[in-house]
Amino acid sequence: MIKQDLLIEIGTEELPPTALKKLSDAFTRGIVDGLEKAELAFGEVKPYATPRRLAVLIHNLDTQQSDREVERRGPAVNAAFDDDGNPTRATEGFARSCGVTASDLEKLETDKGAWLVFRTTQQGQATAGLIPAIVQESLNKLPIPKRMRWGALDAEFVRPVHWVVLLFGDDVIDAEILSVKSGRDTYGHRFHHPDPIFLGEPAAYAPILETTGHVIADFADRREAIHAQVMEAAEKSGGKAVIDEDLLDEVTGLVEWPLAVVGSFEERFLKVPAECLISAMKGHQKYFHMVDEAGRLMPNFITVSNIESRKPEFVREGNERVIRPRLTDADFFWNQDKKQRLEARLETLKSVTFQNRLGSVYDKSQRVAAIAEYLAGEIGGDPIKAKRAALLAKCDLMTDMVFEFTELQGIMGRYYATHDGEDAEVAAALDEQYMPRFAGDELPAGRAGQALAIADKLDTLIGIFGIGQVPSGDKDPFALRRAALGALRIIIERALDIDLKAALEHSAETNIGLFDNPQVIGQVFDFMMGRLKAYYADSGVAPDTFEAVLAQQPTRPLDFDARLRAVTTFRQLPEAESLAAANKRIGNILKKAEQAIPEAVDNSLFTDAAESALYAKVDAMAAKVAPLFAERDYESALKALAALRPEVDTFFDEVMVMAEDAAVRGNRLALLSKLSGLFLEVADLGQLQG
């Protein structure tokens, strides 16, 4: 089979920088899926993405599909011919659909009967003829929320398309993609090399773009170059650059020929909280900030230019002029906001709606204060501090700084509370209330912050579920999934012994009169258990282990975690599989029992040595594990219970549980119930799949 390289490039206006990597990955995946669906073999796949292009280079692609045998099954032989041996109408119709006569059909014998079949060889198509449709299909499936049209063209895409390259080996695949005729000319940097660049072969694409076009086409290479330049520039300036990975991706999506430039600003701005200055630099200007050896913000920034200027000082001065008004604004907001205490802003929250049916942000603050006060008492914190923090929690939303830089909510609350002389734990809690902000983020350290963070999330969950706005599919406008997982992470990872059901009940009580949904507590609890399952699945916990613990409905997440770890450890024991099977068998027996099972076991009714031995072992084991269960030392308890295996195995080998004598049968059921009850103190081991 002849093989050639294929280059596909879509040249556009500047693509959205934050979406560039996602678009490139999706475009490449779509091309690969299309080639695989067409049963074409190929080698390495190399994606390229810059602000003005999406491209894919496919190495060693088949130039034609392989011929393949096609078999179509027709009517059953016993219904294919009439009594005179002539083909029926169904047979003739099938033959016509295959383009042959009935006599050309073959017979297929199987264990289930015989059928008429049509066999033929389907010739493979030329790859060049398949590529345009594959490219178009991939473009159609890109994750673009809103497509645009340009000029008088019917084509729709995320940005106007200016050129298309479809180069297969030495030849151009003639096609029209997004209303643009395909060719072999690419284009370099908008300023350094705006003229067409002739491509002789696909493999020359990236090298010629870099050497002639001043474009680093590979996203990963460009990202690495930016990272290295920024770090080197910072080091030469006597500091260290702080690289935010998301910002690095965005900057990579903004430039084709990166050049790091160091700028500075007046030291007087350093009196403003560092987060405000960093937010202004990152959010508005896409700058990387610098810190000194002690981690303190320096009056410098690093911008990445998309042009190699002959006068880089002009680039530096221009960026310094641009950032100065932003920093001046931050300085002004900081000083203005400090003139009014946070608590003075509490009343103004009445004018801000949280949700139409759930009232204002002020109303929410009152509800959260009540829950936080209760939770603080449960976890050994100071209820007064937790309540105070909850009342102040949303006040920074009314400051000028947070109005301008919304991502600073909570952070500025901490600064303003500290300035107002609030207790240090209360001030810290105003920042901690939003933790964890993202996957892997740190969790609240103080008890007031932990109580507030959980209370805020539970209030949102109860309220939104209460009014019936349950998340569905990808729609989760109130981020309830994140709230549920965040609350659970805090409880488990900070080892807080909170009864989740009780906490939800307290939260529901604060919402009385806002909605009528008596099932809301159960709905939210089940929803949170669903998030807990995903949380443990990400940690490598087997789904059946989770279900075994969930079957017992523990309402304390910390207790749930202890049970889960115990079952996970138990499953490594040699006795685990046999005891899990026994528990499943016992569960089925007890479920199908048609008589009332006595509460106590009567050893005078024993007729077999095996049941006497099991009873003695169960009785002794119950006394041994009782203190372990009381201490929630489930791991030690299950390890101890593993010693029951010999007696359990012998019992099922030698004893007929469903004896004819009702009293004996009931007594044996009582014994199994007592045995099962020991394991059920931890989990339903019958749920384990082995």
CATH number of the domain within which 151 lies: 3.30.70.260
Instruction: Give the Å distances, CA to CA, from 416 to 1, 307, 362, 402, 549.
Output: 72, 41, 19, 11, 45
Predicted local confidence at residue 11, as pLDDT: 97
Asked if residue 253 and residue 279 are part of one domain, the reply reads yes
Predicted local confidence at residue 114, as pLDDT: 82
Total length of the chain: 690
* Number of neighbouring beta carbons within 10 Å of residue 62: 19
Closest Cα to residue 189, out of 166, 158, 222?
222
Asked if residue 133 and residue 108 are part of one domain, the reply reads no
Asked if residue 307 and residue 347 are part of one domain, the reply reads no
Asked if residue 284 and residue 189 are part of one domain, the reply reads no
Q: Rounded to the nearest 10 degrees, what angle do helices 20-37 and 127-140 cross at?
A: 140
pLDDT digits (tens, 9 = 90+) for 521-541: 999 999 999 999 999 999 999
Predicted local confidence at residue 110, as pLDDT: 77
Q: Kind and range of the H or E element at 58? A: strand 53-62
Asked if residue 574 and residue 529 are part of one domain, the reply reads no
What is the C-alpha to C-alpha distance for residues 676 and 551, in angstroms, rounded to an integer?
14
Domain boundary (507, 540, 573) is at 540
Asked if residue 132 and residue 113 are part of one domain, the reply reads no
What is the C-alpha to C-alpha distance for residues 461 and 500, in angstroms, rounded to an integer?
13
Total domains in the chain come to 5
Query: Looking at the domain assignment, is residue 550 inside a domain?
Result: no
CATH number for the domain harbouring residue 661: 1.10.730
Query: Looking at the domain assignment, is residue 554 inside a domain?
Result: no
Beta bridge partners of 186: 197
Residues in Cβ contact with 3 at an 8 Å cutoff, skipping those fewer than 6 apart: 41, 42, 43, 60, 61, 62, 63
Asked if residue 497 and residue 415 are part of one domain, the reply reads yes
Query: Looking at the domain assignment, is residue 551 inside a domain?
Result: no
3-state SS of 417-475? HHHHCCCHHHHHHHHHCCCCCCCCCCCCCCHHHHHHHHHHHHHHHHHHHHCCCCCECCE
Tokens of 114: 């015989």
Asked if residue 50 and residue 77 are part of one domain, the reply reads no
Residues in Cβ contact with 122 at an 8 Å cutoff, skipping those fewer than 6 apart: 67, 68, 69, 70
Query: Looking at the domain assignment, is residue 205 inside a domain?
Result: yes
Query: Looking at the domain assignment, is residue 545 inside a domain?
Result: no
| pTM given for the model | 0.82
CB-based contact 17:51 (threshold 8 Å)? yes
Asked if residue 534 and residue 476 are part of one domain, the reply reads yes
Predicted local confidence at residue 192, as pLDDT: 94
Asked if residue 284 and residue 178 are part of one domain, the reply reads no
Asked if residue 178 and residue 105 are part of one domain, the reply reads no
What single letter denotes the amino acid at residue 565?
R
Residues of the chain with pLDDT under 50: none
Beta-carbon-side half-sphere exposure of residue 615 (alpha carbons within 13 Å): 19
DSSP assignments along 551-604, one per residue:
TT--S-HHHHHHHHHHHHHHTTSTTHHHHHHHHHHHHHHHHH--SPPPSS--GG
Predicted local confidence at residue 88, as pLDDT: 82
Query: Looking at the domain assignment, is residue 549 inside a domain?
Result: no
Closest Cα to residue 552, out of 561, 560, 544, 541?
560
Closest Cα to residue 275, out of 206, 327, 237, 352?
327
Beta bridge partners of 198: 185
Query: Looking at the domain assignment, is residue 187 inside a domain?
Result: yes
Asked if residue 134 and residue 92 are part of one domain, the reply reads no
Query: Looking at the domain assignment, is residue 315 inside a domain?
Result: yes
CATH number for the domain harbouring residue 380: 1.10.3210
Q: CA torsion 666→668→674→678, rounded to 10°?
A: -150
* Number of neighbouring beta carbons within 10 Å of residue 320: 15
Domain boundary (540, 573, 599) is at 540
Predicted local confidence at residue 92, as pLDDT: 80
Closest Cα to residue 15, out of 255, 317, 300?
255
CB-based contact 497:556 (threshold 8 Å)? yes
Give the domain range for residue 86.
71-121
Beta bridge partners of 58: 6, 45
CB-based contact 641:569 (threshold 8 Å)? no
Predicted local confidence at residue 680, as pLDDT: 93
CB-based contact 443:420 (threshold 8 Å)? no
Residues in Cβ contact with 305 at an 8 Å cutoff, skipping those fewer than 6 apart: 255, 258, 259, 260, 261, 312, 315
